[in-house]
Amino acid sequence: MIGVTHYVALSFVLFAIGVTGVLIRRNLLTVLMSIELILNAANLNLVAFSRHLGDLNGQLFAVFVITLAAGEAAIGLAIIISMYRLKGSVNLDDASELKG
């Protein structure tokens, strides 16, 4: 039987892959995609517990998380485009002004 434990396990695998992507990739676009993976892991967790407890509130919260993810993607990609205009690259290593 597939229970809430399976969903939670898959969710934390997805979360760990997303965090690893944020940590190791140089390309800003891929970092943003990894953040989307992390938000998807959170949604999966919410829906799993919503199913387990028979409570709709988890799904409603996931709707708001999806809204936030859409706004975050729009702003993040706009920042990437303006960085590309400024520096001609989208590598994280090239954004080092605050390094000192």
Partner 1 sequence: MGEPFIFWLFAAIVTFGAIGVVAMRQPVHSAICLLGSFLGVAGLFVLAHAEFLGAVQVLVYAGGIMVLFLFTIMLVNVRRTAGEPFVHTQAGAGLVVGFLLLAIVGGTVVASYRVRALSGFGEPANPARLASTSITRTVTDVVDGKKVSTTVTEDVAGNSQAVAWGLYRDYLLPFEVASVFLLVAMIGAVVLGKRTMERVD
As a whole number of angstroms, the distance between CA 41 and CA 77 comes to 21
Q: In angstroms, give the least distance from the CB of 100 to partner 1.
A: 18
Nearer of residues 37 and 99 to partner 1, judged by Cβ? 37
In the complex, the smallest distance separating the C-beta of residue 94 from partner 1, rounded to whole angstroms, is 12
Minimal distance, residue 56 CB to partner 1, in Å: 5
CA atoms of 70 and 90, how far apart (whole Å) = 21
Q: Which is nearer to partner 1, 90 or 98 (CB)?
A: 90
| Residue number, 58 or 100, with CB nearest to partner 1 | 58
C-alpha to C-alpha distance for 72 and 6, rounded to whole angstroms: 29
Compute the C-alpha angle 91/97/83, nearest 5°.
Answer: 45
